[in-house]
Structure 1
Amino acid sequence: MKPILLRGHHRPLTCVKVNKHGDLLFTCGKDAVLAVWRTDNGQQIGQYDCGRGAIWFCDVTIDSKYLIVASGASKIFIFLTETGEMLAEILEEGPCKFVEWNKDPKCQNMFVMANDDFGENVKMGIKVYKVEIEHDEVTQHQIQWSQRGYRSRCNQCRWGPLDREIVTCHDDGSINIWDAATGSLIRKIEAYNQPATCIAFDLKNILMLSCSSDGTAKLFETATWTPIRTYKTDRPLNACDISPLFDVETLAKPHILLGGGQSAEEVTTTATSEGKFQALLYNIIHEDQVGSIKGHFGPINTLTFLADGHGYVSGGEEGMVRIYHFDREYLMDKYE
Structure 2
Amino acid sequence: MAWRLNPLSSRSCLNLASVSLMGSIFCFNAKSASALALPDSIGDHFNQMLPDKNVTGGPLGEIQCYALPYGAIGIISHLLTYWTIAWIGYGRVPLWPKHHISSSKFDLCLAAISMITCIPIATVSIHRCRLSWQFILIGVWKLVTSVVVGAMGIHRAILAREKKPAPSPAGTPLTQPSPYLSPNPGMYKQPNHTTTSFFTLVPETPIAKPKHNTAPLWWLILYLLGTVTGMTGLIALIITSFRHNKDVRSLTYGFTIAVIVLSMATAAYWYKIHWEANRNGYTGLTALTSAYKDTFGSFFLAFIGAFGFFAALYSDLVLGAIAQNWGGFPSEDNSALYWTWFVAKRICMFSH
Provide the TM-score with structure 2 as the length reference.
0.18
Higher strand share: 1
Higher relative contact order (CA 8 A, sep 6+): 2
Provide the TM-score with structure 1 as the length reference.
0.18
Higher helix share: 2
